[in-house]
Amino acid sequence: MRTTRTCAALAALLALPTAVAAQAPPTAAEAKTFVDDADAQLLKLSTEAQRADWVKSTFITDDTEAIAARANEVLSSIQTDLAKRATRFDVVSVPDDVRRRLLLLKLYAVVPAPPDPAETAELTRILASLEGTYGKGKWCRPGADGKEECLDITALERLMAESRDPKVLQDAWTGWHAIARPMRKDFARYVELGNKGAAGLGFKDLGVLWRAKYDMPPDAFARELDRLYEQVKPLYVSLHTYVRRKLREKYGPDVVPAQGPIPAHLLGNMWAQTWDNVYPLVAPQGADPGLDLTARLVAKGMDPRGMTKAGERFFTSLGFAPLPATFWERSLFTKPADRDVVCHASAWDIDFADDLRMKMCIQVTAEDFRTIHHELGHNFYQRAYNRQPFLFRDSANDGFHEAVGDTVALSVTPAYLKQIGLIDAEPDPSKDVGLLLQMALDKVAFIPFGLLIDQWRWKVFSGEITAANYNAEWWKLREKYQGVRAPTPRSEQDFDPGAKYHVPANVPYMRYFLADILQFQLHRGVCRAAGQTGPLHRCSVYGNAQAGERMQKMLAMGVSRPWPEALAAMTGEKQMDATAMLDYFAPLQKWLDEQNKGQTPGW
C-alpha cells in the first residue's frame, strides 16, 4: 500500500502562505518565527530522508533508490521554498543568531531544487541513480578456474594496495574506471538542473553556492585555498620526486619516467589519492620500526566490532560519553554476503539527536583502524552539537567535520598503541623518518587530490569545462596538481571523475582538503593544551582531560558561529595555517632534501 505520510507533509508545507508581496513589511518577530518553523520542518523531513538514504545505501535495489529519491525530492523542494522565502527578511534588523540561521537556510542544500517540480523529481532520480551505479559497480575478469570473477570496489582497493604486477594493476584500474562511462549523460543533466536550483537562490552557479558556505566571499575563499596549497606544495614536490625515483627503480624506465608525471595505477590506490600502500617500495633502508599494525590487530584477534570499540574508548578517554546502545545495534560493520551495499565508510546521524550509526565494510587492517577513529569523530561531533537549533547542527565548516576525526587519528601514535596494548614498546626515535614517510604518503600526497576534485566541478558548474571535454580537463588538473597521468589512453567516451565516489554521490570534496590542513592545526592546538612540548608527530592526547575539554568546547558550537571562532576555541588561532603540517613533517622534509640531491624535482 502506498504511504500518504510524506505526501501529506509536502501538501501541508506547500500550503503555507508564499504571496509575500501583499503582506505588511516583515518584522524581527516574524523572522524568528519563520526560522523556528523552518528548523522544525527541516528536522522532520531530513530525518525521513536520512532513514530512506540509509536503507538505499545498505540494501541497493531499484525500489530503495526510488524511495530515497522521493524522500530527498520532498526535502529538496521544501528546503528550496524556505530558502527563497528567507530572502524576505534580508533587510530586517534581527539578532545575530537569527540572521545566521537565515543565511544557513539559503545555503542548506548541496543542490537546491530547480523551480520546475518535474525537474526537481528528475534531479532526485538522477542523483539516486548515479550513486546506485557506483555502488553496484564491478570489474569482471577470468578467474583461476576459468569462470568469471567479478570484483567490487572493496576487493579492487585491496588488489591495488597489494599487487606489484603493473599489468594487473593497469587492468584493474581500467576496469573500474569503465563503470563510470554510463554516468556521463546523467551527470551533464545534473549540472544543468543543479545550476537552475542555485540560480533560483540568487547564485551564479552551483560552484558559487558551494563556496559561499565558508564565512567569506566565494572568490576570497578560492584565494585562501591557493594560499594553503602553496604553503604545502614544496613538501609535496619533494615527496613526489622521491617516490617517482623509487618506483622507477622497482618497475624500470619503460614504466616510470625519470622526469614527468607518475602513472596513476602504480601508487597503491585506485585514485592515486593516497600512496601509503607503496610504502614497502619506498621505505628508507633500516627504517622499519617493526610496527606492522595490521599483523598486531590480527594477532590480538580484533574483529570489526572490536576495532570500533577501541575507537570509542579513545573518545571516552577524553571525557566524552559512550556511544548509545542503538549505535551497536543498527550500524553496518561488515559487507553482507547477500546484497549490494555502498561500502564507502560514512558516519550517520539519522535523527540528528541520538540515532548515531556507522556504515563501513571493515577489514582488519591498520588503514581501517585509523578510518574507524575518523568516522567516529563525525559521530561524536554530531552528538556534541545536538542541543543546538537544527540549522546549527553541523560543523563549523564542512572541513571541520572531516578534520576532527583525523585529528584523533593523528594521536594513533606508537605511544597510544602501547597504552592500549597493541604493541609492547615504542620504536626508537631513530625510526621516526620511516613512520613520517608512511604518514606523508597518506596526508601530504592527498593535498593536491583534495584540491582538484572541486576545482574540476567548479569549472564544470561555471561552464568553463563543458561536457565535450570533461575527461580531458580532468586529466589536465590531475597532472597540474598531482603530477600523475592515466595508465592507458583516455577519451571523451570515458568519464573518469565518476569513478570517484564523491562525484556521483554529489558530495562536495573541498572539505577533505581543508580537513587535511586543519587536522594538523587542531592537533597542534590540543597538544599544546595537553602541555606536550616534544615533536608534534610524537604527541598523543589519549586520556588527556584538558585536550578533551578544548575539543568538546569547539564541537558543541556546531555552526552557530563563524568558523574562525570555532578554530580559536580549540587552537587559539583564527586563520587556517598549514605550517602545523610542515612542523609535523619537518624531520622528513630534511631527509627528503638529502635523498633528492641530483634529481629533477616536479613534473
Per-residue pLDDT tens over the stretch 182-202? 999 999 999 999 999 999 888
Q: Is the pLDDT of residue 19 over 80?
A: no
pLDDT in tens, 254-266: 999 999 999 999 9
* Least confident stretch, 290-299, 312-321, 431-440: 290-299
Q: 346 - beta bridge partners? A: 359
Any catalytic annotation for residue 378? yes
| Cα separations in angstroms, 545 against 62, 202, 316, 570, 572 | 48, 46, 10, 13, 18
Beta strands in 39-179 (DSSP E): 139-142, 148-151
Any catalytic annotation for residue 375? yes
CA angle (452, 458, 460) in 5-degree steps: 105
What is residue 1's predicted lDDT score, i.e. its pLDDT?
39
Query: Rounded to an integer, what distance in angstroms lies between the CA atom of residue 271 and that of residue 281?
Result: 18
Any catalytic annotation for residue 402? yes
pLDDT in tens, 62-81: 999 999 989 988 998 898 88
User: Which residue among 375, 509, 523, 529 is the active-site one?
Assistant: 375
What is residue 420's predicted lDDT score, i.e. its pLDDT?
93
User: Which residue among 48, 65, 402, 473 is the active-site one?
Assistant: 402
User: Which residue among 344, 401, 523, 537 is the active-site one?
Assistant: 344
Cell of 81: 521554498
pLDDT interval class at 392 (50, 70, 90): very high
Any catalytic annotation for residue 240? no
User: Which residue among 512, 523, 542, 580 is the active-site one?
Assistant: 512
Query: Rounded to an integer, what distance in angstroms lies between the CA atom of residue 397 and that of residue 409?
Result: 20
Query: Rounded to an integer, what distance in angstroms lies between the CA atom of residue 173 and that of residue 487?
Result: 8
Beta strands in 266-423 (DSSP E): 346-349, 356-359
pLDDT interval class at 20 (50, 70, 90): very low
Any catalytic annotation for residue 345? yes
Any catalytic annotation for residue 265? no
Its sign, for the CA torsion 21, 27, 33, 35, is: positive
What is residue 23's predicted lDDT score, i.e. its pLDDT?
62
* Between 73 and 553, residue with greater pLDDT: 553
HSE (side-chain half, CA atoms, 13 Å) at 230: 6
User: Which residue among 378, 401, 523, 537 is the active-site one?
Assistant: 378
Q: What is the mean pLDDT of residues 116-127?
A: 93
Q: Is the pLDDT of residue 12 over 70?
A: no
How many helices and strands in the chain, by DSSP H and E? 24, 6
* Residues 105 and 36: beta-carbon distance below 8 Å: no
User: Which residue among 373, 374, 401, 537 is the active-site one?
Assistant: 374
Any catalytic annotation for residue 374? yes
pLDDT in tens, 465-477: 999 999 999 999 9
User: Which residue among 199, 345, 467, 586 is the active-site one?
Assistant: 345
The domain locations on the chain are 5-15+27-134+186-215, 293-326+361-438+519-595
Reference 541, options 531, 556, 554; nearest CA is 531
Any catalytic annotation for residue 344? yes
Query: Rounded to an integer, what distance in angstroms lies between the CA atom of residue 577 and that of residue 580?
Result: 7
* Residues 103 and 216: beta-carbon distance below 8 Å: no
Its sign, for the CA torsion 258, 260, 261, 265, is: negative
* Least confident stretch, 98-102, 145-149, 212-216, 437-441: 145-149
User: Which residue among 367, 502, 565, 586 is the active-site one?
Assistant: 502
